[in-house]
Chain A
Amino acid sequence: MIARVVAGLVVVSVAGATAGPSHLPPPAGTISGKVTYTGTPPKMRPIDMAKEPACVTDHPTPVMTQDVVTGSANSVRYVVVYISGGDQGAPAATDTVRYDQKGCLYIPHVAVMQVHQPLEIFNDDPHSHNIHPLARVNPEWNKSQPKGAPPIRTAWDQPEFIPVKCNVHPWMHGYFAVLATSHFSMTDSTGEFSITGLPPGTYTVTAWHERFGTKSQEVTVAGSETKTANFVLTARPY
């Protein structure tokens, strides 16, 4: 009996909330946290760009490899954290994601985007690059982009983590993280991330790293609260 009354109250309150004044923004929760590793990660090594003299002059101090970038307290950078189960948010954003080839590096090292979101790839260097996304689910392509060539405009149809490489400069490696969801974030140099604007609900949150793989956990967000979800990835030395 009591249960039935409580259930009735809940129904009334939910109905009240939906019929209530519309000037209040819908509650939006946040999931934030930090990604760290256990084990022994590979060492970051200086990149030898001797093959491309212009890029050597671009970097007075040698650039370090970016596939595994770790910080203090075992933090990991370039981890894509996204909602893999639960509300998938808005359809593809119309704003363009920019990806640069500059100083023989991909900037950003990992570009996160939604399926069908416009992507523009620039060559800012005074020499050629070939941009070769090694897609498996989406079609793989490979295009030359010489000095001064206009940006390549494209988009991806399927969610996929696509390795990108330049065959001319073998140290150039990057990723296109193409997601079905609009709820995502990427860890910064302190390993921290924050996914905002989440409607109340239960979510599967997945953290992906190009070398350390993926880990997932369930998080329930109610109202406008901020929930913490930390991830510990297992480092593989090679």
Chain B
Amino acid sequence: MRPQTRWLTLSACGAVLLCGGAVRVVAQEAHVDRLTGRAAAGKPLYTRYCAGCHGDEGDSRGENTQWIDPKPRDFTLATFKCRSTPSGTLPTDQDLYNSVTRGFVTTNMPPWVALTPHNRIDLVAYIKTFSARWSTAKPGTPIAIPPEPAPTVQGILHGRELFQRLECWKCHGAAGHGDGPSAKTLTDNKDDPIRPYDFQTGTRFMCGTTNQDLYRIFMTGLDGSPMPSFADQLQPAQAWDLVHFLRTLQPLKTPEATIWRAWFTTHGRELKPIGQEGGGQ
């Protein structure tokens, strides 16, 4: 393209944006792998499948919203729980695509696997037209997750100390039942009540199922919810220790739970209880 032509193209784009005025400022595309999603293609899908809860304007005021708890995401805020990026930054297209694909367990958001991958990425492109932040800011850099070490009793014990020291128990409870002293007063960024994850249920997590997902959840935090980011507080080795300890709180046959239960039957009594007076050691 000759410089002059390029300039003309740029000015044309500028004019379109200006003419857009009060209309949404936009990021019209989304990319995952080799797929390119287009907002124009996502719009009719959104109207058909999403607007009932998320609202025509993406403001979470759909006709079903009043019956739903927790409330649907308000896309006009561009604040998302499930991200691979640091707290306060926009998620990647892949993050949004994963959320649409996976749905949110224990909420009214189903997994949209019935839609084709191309439909889903078109929807992601359309969701990004609801907030001007998508044109003023870039997604954050995904946090690095180093390879997972094998779980050990020592590591799990260390993770348990972190659970005490970082005060995870204040919301998630000493045994991870989601019944800590602050659990009942938790509200999200719209002042709606929200519950911390109850490890005893053993259900999938809000943002995935794997140990990597668990690592990512507490390192990035779930923006909009009370769950903060611990990225500044944990080194990777510590974060993995915490992951392995958290797995022992679930009634699942995980490798972590197996080695922990074997150790616990003989040494469990030596442990200080977790909680206000406890040392967690």
- Measuring CB to CB, which residues of chain A are less than 8 angstroms from any residue of chain B? 51, 53, 127-128, 130-132, 134, 136, 139-147, 149-150, 152, 167-170
Task: Name the residue on A nearest B222 (C-beta).
Answer: A142
Task: Name the residue on B nearest A150 (C-beta).
Answer: B232
- Measuring CB to CB, which residues of chain B are less than 8 angstroms from any residue of chain A? 77-79, 87-90, 133, 137, 165-167, 170-171, 181-182, 185-187, 189, 221, 223-233, 276
Apart from A51-B182, A142-B226: 13 A-B pairs, beta carbons within 8 A = A51-B181, A130-B226, A136-B77, A139-B90, A142-B87, A142-B228, A142-B229, A143-B221, A146-B166, A146-B233, A147-B165, A167-B182, A168-B182
Contact A132 B226 (CB under 8 A): yes
How far is B276's CA from A53's CA once the two chains are assembled, in angstroms? Answer: 9
How far is B231's CA from A1's CA once the two chains are assembled, in angstroms? Answer: 74
How far is B91's CA from A153's CA once the two chains are assembled, in angstroms? Answer: 22
Contact A134 B189 (CB under 8 A): yes
How far is B181's CA from A85's CA once the two chains are assembled, in angstroms? Answer: 47
Query: With a CB–CB cut-off of 8 A, which chain A residues contact B90?
Result: 139
A187 shortest CB reach to chain B, Å: 26
Tell whether A144 pairs with B230 under 8 Å between CB atoms, given A51-B181, A128-B167: yes
A172 shortest CB reach to chain B, Å: 11
Give 11 A-B contacts (CB < 8 Å), ordered by A residue. Answer: A139-B137, A140-B189, A141-B229, A142-B87, A144-B228, A144-B229, A144-B233, A146-B166, A146-B167, A168-B182, A170-B187
Contact B182 A170 (CB under 8 A): yes
Tell whether A132 pairs with B88 under 8 Å between CB atoms, given A144-B233, A146-B167, A149-B233: no
B166 shortest CB reach to chain A, Å: 5
Partner of A139, one of B89, B225, B229, B276: B89
Q: Is the interface of B mostly helix, strand, loop or mixed?
A: loop
How far is B131's CA from A136's CA once the two chains are assembled, in angstroms? Answer: 11
A113 shortest CB reach to chain B, Å: 17
B272 shortest CB reach to chain A, Å: 17
B45 shortest CB reach to chain A, Å: 27
Contact B87 A143 (CB under 8 A): yes
Closest 3 CB pairs of A and B: A141-B88, A167-B226, A130-B228
Query: With a CB–CB cut-off of 8 A, which chain A residues contact B89?
Result: 139
A159 shortest CB reach to chain B, Å: 15
How far is B166's CA from A134's CA once the two chains are assembled, in angstroms? Answer: 22
Task: Name the residue on B nearest A131 (C-beta).
Answer: B228
B217 shortest CB reach to chain A, Å: 13
Partner of A168, one of B170, B187, B276: B170
B269 shortest CB reach to chain A, Å: 26
A86 shortest CB reach to chain B, Å: 27
